Structure 1
Amino acid sequence: MIIPKLPTVHLDTTLADLYRENGITGSFIVTMYCVFGHMDLHASFPRELVWPEDEEPVPYSDDPAEQDRLRKVILGLKPLRRAWGLGNMEVLFFGPNITAKGARAALSQLPLNQRHIPRMVDLNKGLVSEQLRGMTTTTVGERKKKLLFWRPQGWMKEQDCLIDPQEAYDINSKKYLVTSNMRTPPSIIVDLQTADLSSSSSSSLFHTRTVPFVVKLCRAGCGFGTYLVRSEEERHATLSALARYQRQGVGEVLVSDYVDLVEDLAVHFVVGAPGTTHDRTNPLILGVTIQTLTAGGKWVGGHIDYSAQSRLHAYVRETLRDTTRKLPASFVGWAGIDIVTDKRGRQFVVDLNARFTGSMPICFMSGHFWKRRGLPLAQFAAFEYEACHVDDIYERLDSLVQSGAIVVTATATIREGREGSHMADIVWGGRDQGDLARVEREIRDRLGKKPEIPLPEVAE
């Protein structure tokens, strides 16, 4: 199938431009993959044993078919959608799940000066670590490329990274919220391995603490590994989950006060190089998005109100500055924090994502949706659809795409065949919340019956 010519999407800026403007220099090469501690992504891309998470960003399944599907999502859709907005940076993509043709479709929508540069690594040609040894260096006389990553992985030890992988691993732990004295809800660190979870008569804090309270794994994102204990039923479910983590060897968990929140905001920002205008004492805010959570507290996306950004920036600025001052002096680059506000107006930082965030692309699209089309709101989500070919989506959504009301930022095949299964990441604009919901329904109607498949970011 021939993909129709797609409208050009002019981003407000790109990450490469922001880094250059804020003193973060270098020739960068980027990897946007997560890896898992419980399964290999590929024979050449083994599970993570050096810097594993306590819980993965997608729930673990013992079903081999579901594991295979997950590998295709992680190696196919996710890195493509995260690369949107990187700008003039090299980006590592791992074939055969991603092809040069597949990457071109998304890139063709961006002006030449806002496109990233795909670098394909063929997983069928040997171990990732061996193939990458020569990919982060240039010819004699040029600067060595610096590696930017979403989550630290063992093979990165040998790379020249902008952020030290061990430091990244440490500060992205929720334990850092407490040890750095950030404005997080009152919390304590509990040794899970010594906790008695087996008996209802146990004197452990998990049995005796009065509800409501919150239990969080230190190394998990998107609400996975977070348990809201607001009733005895939820206490029982939490104890059951903690017993599983205890058997898996998880060492510590965070127990914190429950915040009956009024607002849940994600702040996306850049920390410039030390001594620049927007260093860690005065970070540059790029967007404040409103989080979408399930009743159980799991992150499934969010939206942005471009018309409210000036007010929201001022609203979160003090809390953000307090947070970034407590980051290591060596930290620079894109990051995000989640802020909740209680009924007394107090702001608390409940998560630090010292890395790329899942909402980064929509922070760069105010010109496309609001200034050019009068759509002050934008939202994004992953959609699954059945079709003979992955590119059928452009025919089904043609009028929406051509009008600029929606932007397809990534597509990937999850299951081959005449009735194959595919996924797409889509951003769409709206005049108000009702309009956002209407456009989403229209997208789903045109793509078929498939419900949204939540693809949370560890993240962002």
Structure 2
Amino acid sequence: MREKQSSTGGQDLPTGPSLPTVKLDTTLADLYRQAAPRTKARRIAQVLCGVNSGLPLSAKFPRNTKYLYQDSPFNTTAAKAPSCPDEKAALTRELAMKYLSLIPQRDAFISGSAPVILFHIDHDDPAKVEHDRAEAEATVSVLASDQKPELVFCAGPADIPVQEKGIDAIAYKLMVDGLEKYDLLVQPDVHWFVNSKDALAKSGLPTPKCEIIDLEGHGGAQRGCCEVCVSGGDGEGNEFVIPAACEGARGQWFAQESERILQKIGQRSLPFVLKNQQTFGGAGTYVVRTEEERGKVVGDLREGVLRKLMSSVTEANAHLRPGALILSDLVDEPIGDYGLTFFVTEEEAEPVFLAASEQMIGEGNAWIGSTINYRRQDELKNKFAKLVKEVAAWLRSHDYVGPAGADVLETASESVMDEGVDADLTRYHIVDLNVRTSGSLALPLMKTHFTGRGLDNASSFSISSKHSRDEFVALFRDDFESGKMCILSWYQDRVSGTSLADVAVGAATPEDLKKEMQRVRDATDEVTF
């Protein structure tokens, strides 16, 4: 036990709480050394930030244009998007907080003794640069000394000090365009492909039957299309978007392809699920059970979502087919909903099973958190052993080594699946593969921390709060001092005063966990990605 150091963004507590040291069962660095013998002698840095394909996150972190990811802001209709400069600036600032601090802090917490690359939200402001550093350092300060990551801050993806820090290779959560020039643990196209919905549909793994709607070609270059395109964008500040008034080849291509896509969606028999090719944070998934829901989805696509998506397909990324849409069967009456996390090994050994958790989904299918029952993990490991091994083998066949997650629905009876699917697995339906660190990965790695305190259930989730870090800890002081609660990431916006955070909470029983989570919810607001 030790005195907590004061963090940024709030007043010093007169008598700081004494927080227990968090000793993780294992770390990402340990898992890489265990799972990939060829990397043991290499110094691997981890880039764990989110990305956005619609907006730049900072002056040094441009929007992703080649490796397209569709998150909630990307899939927002024009009518719901911020319209005035102040609203747009606030959205960009919030996205930067989430993607450049909140998410990478959360994963840095479990990274172990390895370099973790963090990007400044505003590298030109010395006070903000120091604030970024202080927030991240405060988060990892509770970790055992031999499990603390080496935090490496820089302005943007182009500025990673590889030589200065002796970095041999980079592992990454999402493929940031600016990482292509570095030595990467997994090749960019491979990483993007194995995370795509199309790859899952054709993998031979147990997954709902799908119909793929592919784009034919792409709209071509903005320059040289027509005067409207050359003058720039859709009038909403999105310079890459094909303008509705385009009079050239881009506009003609969009009109033809969009109508063909919408016609296919209109003809699909109900119920079905519409998915974007590559998503992040649970966005881009639309469950359509009724004609009214079909009409709403088609309306959203017409109101700017499809235009933004199709405009993002270029000569540089067309081979990845980022504009494809997937229509899949809806899994009927599932009896179980699981989030599996595991680590894919380099050799044909058993993958490292980490956990089976339950996911909390908010409005619009957005992920908001996870829960885990530690007492059930051995049972669930045996239950899903064959499925996890099949998924890991498929990923290994594409030269992937690293963390992975699978969202799985279980049905009471076997389902008719594509030829080649193992008959023993036809009651399981993989509805998504997240071939990266999952949002709930801290939970299995904190098992001993919680169970050693008689807490056999735990949850991690994101919150928004008007409190500073110190004020929040003071509010739940007993929980923090007992080890029942732990901050996995925290960032306070110095402009608005709002804090975004990830917290882990433990409890003795599932019922107690619900109560503990509600206590936190009552004092905070929900965050979605």
Task: Report the TM range for the smaller structure's normalisation.
Answer: 0.7 to 0.9
Structure 1 residues 153 and 196: CA distance shift in structure 2, 3 A? closer
Identity in percent: 28
How far apart are the structure 1 equivalents of 2:450 and 2:284?
A: 35
Shift of 1:221: 2.9
Q: Which residue of 1 aligns with 2:91?
A: 66
Amino acid at match of 2:525: P
Structure 1 residues 274 and 352: CA distance shift in structure 2, 3 A? same
- Which runs of 5 or more residues in structure 1 are unaligned? none
Matches within 5 A, 1:15-414: 15-22=28-35, 23=37, 24-25=39-40, 26-56=42-72, 60=76, 61-62=81-82, 63-64=87-88, 65-95=90-120, 96=128, 99-121=132-154, 123=155, 128-132=156-160, 135-137=161-163, 144-191=167-214, 204-243=263-302, 244-250=304-310, 251-260=323-332, 261-275=334-348, 278=349, 282-294=350-362, 296-327=364-395, 328-344=397-413, 346-370=427-451, 372-387=452-467, 389-414=468-493
Q: How many residue pairs get matched?
A: 431
Structure 1 residues 240 and 391: CA distance shift in structure 2, 3 A? same
- Given that 1:381 and 1:426 are in contact with CA atoms closer than 8 Å, whether structure 2 keeps it comes out as yes
- Given that 2:75 and 2:284 are in contact with CA atoms closer than 8 Å, whether structure 1 keeps it comes out as no
Amino acid at match of 1:395: A
Range with bigger deviation, 229-238 or 65-74: 65-74
The structure where strand makes up a greater share of residues is 1
Q: Which of 1 and 2 has greater Rg? A: 2
Amino acid at match of 2:132: T
Structure 1 residues 366 and 49: CA distance shift in structure 2, 3 A? same
Shift of 1:368: 1.0
How far apart are the structure 1 equivalents of 2:256 and 2:393?
A: 34
Matched, 1:427 2:504: yes
Shift of 1:170: 1.3
The structure where helix makes up a greater share of residues is 2
In the superposition, the TM-score normalised over structure 1's length comes to 0.87
CA RMSD of aligned residues (A): 2.4
- Given that 2:208 and 2:329 are in contact with CA atoms closer than 8 Å, whether structure 1 keeps it comes out as yes
Shift of 1:227: 0.7
Shift of 1:294: 3.6
- Given that 1:6 and 1:108 are in contact with CA atoms closer than 8 Å, whether structure 2 keeps it comes out as no
How far apart are the structure 2 equivalents of 1:333 and 1:197?
A: 37
Range with bigger deviation, 80-89 or 322-331: 322-331
- Given that 1:69 and 1:415 are in contact with CA atoms closer than 8 Å, whether structure 2 keeps it comes out as no
Structure 1 residues 349 and 203: CA distance shift in structure 2, 3 A? closer
How far apart are the structure 1 equivalents of 2:488 and 2:159?
A: 28
How far apart are the structure 1 equivalents of 2:101 and 2:107?
A: 11
Structure 1 residues 249 and 368: CA distance shift in structure 2, 3 A? closer
Amino acid at match of 1:366: K
Shift of 1:115: 1.0
Amino acid at match of 1:241: D
Shift of 1:343: 3.0
How far apart are the structure 1 equivalents of 2:448 and 2:441?
A: 15
How far apart are the structure 2 equivalents of 1:386 and 1:246?
A: 36
Shift of 1:166: 1.5
In the superposition, the TM-score normalised over structure 2's length comes to 0.76
Range with bigger deviation, 336-345 or 400-409: 336-345
- Which runs of 5 or more residues in structure 2 are unaligned? 1-11, 121-127, 216-253, 311-322, 415-426
